[in-house]
């Protein structure tokens, strides 16, 4: 059985920070993006695939297919899971995917979001989803890049 070495919430999914810092830090060799909209957008999928270094496998799936893949990770894979929203992780958990920890890396400002912690913003619904995830036994923290400190969200809720 393989392992999930990073589960990260980030609006941008794949970007320089993930590709350089987190990929090196975790030793990941398979990136799994779980996002229904991205999975259905061939243009975005092709752009994402161009951002992934050679030798790193990329899967872009909706929630149902993503859950199925993550429950059957091959033994030689170190998986980085990326999703845009906490609700996606809650759906994965409800579909039987286990996570020890989920980090919040990039949830930027939007009309419907308020500042949650420094440059991280969240809606009331997203904060409620954080509570459900934490109540299910999964640790959650804000951790933007590996060489900076992290901050558990328990006290922010």
Angle, alpha carbons 142-28-54 (nearest 5°):
125
Give the span between the Cα atoms of 53 and 18, in whole angstroms.
11
Residues 22 and 106: beta-carbon distance below 8 Å: no
Residue 51 burial by Cβ neighbours in a 10 Å radius (0-12, 13-18, 19+): middle
Residues 55-75 have pLDDT tens digits of 999 999 999 999 999 999 988
CA dihedral 16, 46, 109, 98 (to 10 degrees): -80
Residue 64 burial by Cβ neighbours in a 10 Å radius (0-12, 13-18, 19+): middle
Superfamily of domain 3-156, CATH level 4 = Phosphotransferase system, sorbose subfamily IIB component (3.40.35.10)
- Lookup result for tokens 């933007």: 144
Residues 96-155 have pLDDT tens digits of 999 999 999 989 899 999 999 999 999 999 999 999 999 999 999 999 889 888 999 988
Q: What is the mean pLDDT of residues 88-98?
A: 97
How far, CA to CA in Å, does 66 sit from each of 17, 32, 49, 143?
Answer: 23, 8, 17, 23
């Amino acid at each position: 059985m393989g392992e999930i070495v990073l589960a990260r919430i980030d609006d941008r999914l794949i970007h320089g920070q993930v590709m350089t810092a987190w990929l090196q830090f975790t030793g990941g060799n398979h990136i799994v993006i779980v996002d229904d909209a991205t999975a259905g957008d061939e243009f975005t999928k092709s752009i994402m695939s161009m951002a992934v270094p050679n030798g790193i496998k990329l899967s872009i799936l909706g929630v149902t297919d993503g859950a199925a893949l993550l429950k059957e990770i091959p033994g030689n894979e170190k998986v980085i899971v990326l999703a845009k929203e906490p609700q996606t992780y809650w759906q994965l958990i409800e579909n039987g995917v286990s996570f020890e920890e989920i980090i919040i890396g990039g949830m930027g400002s939007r009309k419907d979001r308020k500042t949650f912690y420094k440059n991280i913003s969240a809606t009331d619904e997203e904060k409620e989803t954080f509570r459900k995830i934490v109540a299910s036994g999964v640790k959650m923290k804000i951790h933007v890049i590996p060489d900076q400190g992290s901050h558990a969200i328990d006290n922010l809720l």
